Amino acid sequence: MTMSNTGGRRRPPTIHDVAREAGVSRGTVSRVLNGGHYVSPAAQEAVNAAIRRTGYVVNRHARSLITGRSDSVGFLLTEPQERFFEDPNFNVLLRGCTQALAAHDVPLLLMLAGTEDERRRITRYITAGHVDGVLLVSSHSGDPVAEELRAAGVPLVACGKPIGLGSKVSYVAADDRDGARDMVRHLLSLGRRRVGVVTGPLDTPGGVERLAGYREVLGEAGVAVDERLVVPGDYSRASGEAGAERLLAQAPDVDAVFVASDLMAQGVLAALQRAGRRVPEDVAVGGFDDSPAAVAASPELTTIRQPWDRISAEMVRVLLAQIGGDDPAAVILPTELVKRDSA
């Protein structure tokens, strides 16, 4: 435990020092450092002891210089950053990725590409090989950065299915469609038959899939889809409020609403209450995300939980595999219905 680094910040020990201390060669120390194959138990032990005694830590720059790897990955956030940073799910994602990477001793570089300038700088930085791979989080997919990185051959894992990149790029996503199906089935199971939907933006996979799930379940249940019950939203609270108003106007007999995000659902609740409808007695409301907005709402929202902790873990796993040479892969994770008071 003596760090032998008392006082004035000396030159840190190198692999050479360790080799001398252990009475072996650089090569042997290096082999121990890199998995210990073809090393005798005696040498193994001597080297480990020497490392402990000298407090040696590998110089990653020297290693990277020769291996060409950087042993670090970037966490890239493109587009309007405020929105992401305010999203608690994003925080879970960032924290999860950091921790999962830390378990592999891989540092995470946080990169924000808000402006066009930053995007260029960061793309350049990444394609120059300063990171081995990128965890990509972008809101509206079909991101030009993603395409550039893919073209440059940089290992890449997106959060959520990117639009328009085919199966060339890995991604990890929650099963939006299945989550939507669960929720709509739940609403039907409550005896509701006039189930409306406030969709997400239909240029995002999430928006599309959640709507598709809605349509599927109604179809399977033999309930005709009334297009007056389908109104668009953009995930914002305000759009939820507007959506509910439109729904009430177009189909006053609505008795349940599946809302594609909790934030919108808050708006829906407000509009319904203003219109004198009781929730859940008159109209049942189902959200999506299980964000804090869900418990902050009154009544508390029944919603769909996305497994953000697993998503981050999977993103890291897939990325590291890809850096290791594996092919791109898509991972879809199941969601969970969280029953509270609104339905």
Residues that bind a copy of itself (CB under 8 A): 5, 9, 12, 57-62, 64-65, 70, 72, 75, 81, 85-86, 88, 91-92, 94-95, 98-99, 102, 105, 107-112, 114, 118, 121, 124-125, 127-130, 152-153
Q: What is the footprint of DNA within residues 46-85 (CB under 7 A)?
A: 56, 58-59, 62-63, 65-67
Whole-number CA gyration radius for the chain: 26
* Interface pattern 7-26 for DNA (x via CB under 7 A): ----xx-xxx------xxxx
Choice between 118 and 203, CB closer to a copy of itself: 118
Exactly one of 3, 9, 38, 86 binds DNA (CB under 7 A); which one? 38
Q: Is 27 an interacting residue with respect to DNA (CB under 7 A)?
A: yes
Instruction: Give me 136's structure tokens.
Output: 């990509």
Please give the structure tokens belonging to residue 336. Answer: 């969970």
Which of a copy of itself, DNA, none sits in contact with 1, Cβ below 5 to 8 A by type?
none
Strands (DSSP E) contained in the chain are 73-78, 108-113, 133-137, 156-159, 170-174, 195-198, 230-231, 256-259, 284-286, 303-305, 330-333, 336-338
Alpha carbon of residue 242 to chain centroid: 29
User: Which listed option, DNA, a copy of itself, none, makes contact with residue 189 (CB within 5 to 8 Å by class)?
Assistant: none
Nearer to a copy of itself, 45 or 118 (CB): 118
What span, in angstroms and rounded, lies between the C-alpha atoms of 205 and 163? 7
- Selection from a copy of itself, DNA, none that 42 binds (CB < 5 to 8 A by kind) is DNA
CB of 244 to DNA, least distance (A): 58
Contact between residue 163 and residue 141 where contact means Cβ atoms under 8 Å apart: yes
187 touches DNA by CB under 7 A: no
Q: Which of 299, 301, 192, 212 shows the shortest CA–CA distance to 254?
A: 192
Please name which of 176, 174, 175, 146 lies closest in space to residue 158, comparing C-alpha atoms. Answer: 146
95 contact, one of DNA, a copy of itself, none, CB 5-8 Å limit per kind: a copy of itself
In SS3 terms, 46-78 reads as: HHHHHHHHHCCCCCHHHHHHHHCCCCCEEEEEE
Binding site for DNA (CB under 7 A): 11-12, 14-16, 23-31, 33-34, 38-43, 56, 58-59, 62-63, 65-67
